[in-house]
Structure 1
């Protein structure tokens, strides 16, 4: 399986993970988990066992992140990511499959683009602390990515920041942070190729969907938000829910940005209630 486009990727270049539903669940529902910026499928590791009670689960490391290929042939844009997600799903989808995209942070912007490109658009979408309202980077920043050694500078800049300290910013209750978390989020940062891909992402990334574009998405959407989110504050979610024609938002006190890690059972139950309503 491959996505034939100007910027193709092969299936074996993407770290795709498929989890069948638990034996007592015959649902045709397929949850598609799309991770956020500088993250990977690992961010869903606590949520996956909970969601499998309600359907199948597919997740993956987006090209350029996690254990997926860091190829310079790829166009690192939201539009291309959405096309890649659609291609990844093909082996798991039949005429009876109910696809439910679940996008965390940047993954929310990718999930919101799927109804426009899927022949059978998803009937519902879930956004977890989704990004919103971020404009495309200024021209001078994008132009700087063509400079020699830009990716080297980017690597040095990012590596200055301690991953454990970053996780303290992302997760409200720091007591749940383990050495495994730190290792999982730090390991991809050690790859030189990731910074080359990230350089292209800075160059190619569009702005987030505009109010006009959001108003044209008529799929029912559930937004879940941590009230203590310091990465994507609650006011972003409030703006999104006002801009989307058929959206509701649930908020949770003392929860930060990484809802799938901080409250996996509650997140899974909220998603299940929404999809079965």
Structure 2
């Protein structure tokens, strides 16, 4: 196994896309890991050491987060981000691709499954966002104001990183300096607030039930029972709408399950990928 990743930044769809790749000497299976909103690939730091024992890994910083670009001319919609990730994967040429997304990253996975049926063998949704509507019209219109990005910065700064972490984890004792610094890093680049303004403008609503019912790719849904950001009821609803899916709810966990329950998440993913069973 490759303990240290190779790091890359390539231009796809007029955006700089940063990703890390871990190569396994024998495995032919590749898992793509997609993080959530206001995060980066850092959120998988505890899951990666477990997964690299059995799989090739590709970790992607979704624009405009992490080390990926914050371009003015990029369209920050889920459809656009999903197309960008798919084009990167096509360019890389990996076979047997499995896609795992946390929170917003789960919605990107669902968009990828919808856009390219059969390209991804199985989907893994970790506390995935679901059924969120588009931003309210007044917010979309406000995003065109010249200084709206300052409001975005102020709004996100009100609770701060520590406040956000307290909201997304169940056991507050796991919050340490490394975690605080890692989740603060995406905001070191001041241009992210202009990009987030465009995301407010461009982000369409989550995929609705009619679309989800057409996705027959096997999907594993993993949730924390104490998730206050995306409650387990959303997971149950997604499991009902996705025709070939299974829901697992982890006790003693909140929204940030890759950090809170990495061993349990790894075991569920490993069993899911190795199994030929379908859930329909």
SS in 2 for 1:223: strand
Once structures 1 and 2 are overlaid, which stretch shifts more, 189-198 or 233-242? 189-198
**2:21 aligned with 1:31:** no
In structure 2, the residue matched to 1:117 is 115
Q: Distance in 1 between matches of 2:109 and 2:78?
A: 9
Distance 1:67 1:3, change over 3 A: closer
* Structure 2 counterpart of 1:3, from 5, 12, 21: 12
Q: What does residue 75 of structure 1 align with?
A: 75
The aligned residue for residue 15 of structure 1 is 18
Pick one of 182, 185, 197 that aligns with 2:183.
185
Stretch moving more, 98-107 or 151-160:
151-160
Matches within 5 A, 1:86-105: 86-94=86-94, 97-105=95-103
The equivalent of 2:7 in structure 1 is: none
1:120: how far off? 4.5
Instruction: Specify the SS of the correspondent of 1:14.
Output: strand
For residues 60-114 of structure 1, give each alpha carbon's deviation from its aligned partner in whole angstroms, at most 9, with x where no partner exists: 21111112111111100000111111122235434xx110000100111110111
Please name the residue that 1:49 is paired with: 49
Cα deviations across residues 135-174 of structure 1 (Å, max 9, x unaligned)? 1112221010001210011112211222112111111111
Distance apart, 1:16 and its partner CA: 0.7
Greater displacement, 173-182 / 118-127? 118-127
Contact map agreement 1:61 1:67 (CA 8 A) in 2: yes
Q: Within 5 Å, which residues of 2 pair with 1:247-262?
A: 247-262=245-260
Is the contact between residue 216 and residue 242 of structure 2 (CA under 8 Å) also seen in structure 1? yes
**What is the root-mean-square deviation in Å for CA atoms of aligned residues?**
1.4
1:54, distance to aligned residue in structure 2 (A): 2.0
Q: How far apart are 1:209 and its partner, in Å?
A: 0.4
Specify the SS of the correspondent of 1:71.
coil
Q: Which runs of 4+ in 1 moved over 6 A?
A: none
SS in 1 for 2:191: helix
Deviation at 1:133, TM superposition (A): 0.9
Other-structure match for 1:266: 264
User: Structure 1 residues 120, 236: closer, same or farther in 2, change over 3 A?
Assistant: closer
For structure 1, list consecutive stretches of 5 or more residues without a partner in the other structure: none
Q: Distance in 2 between matches of 1:3 and 1:166?
A: 31
Q: 3-state DSSP class of the match of 1:142?
A: helix
SS in 2 for 1:256: coil
CA distance in 2: counterparts of 1:213 and 1:91, whole angstroms: 27
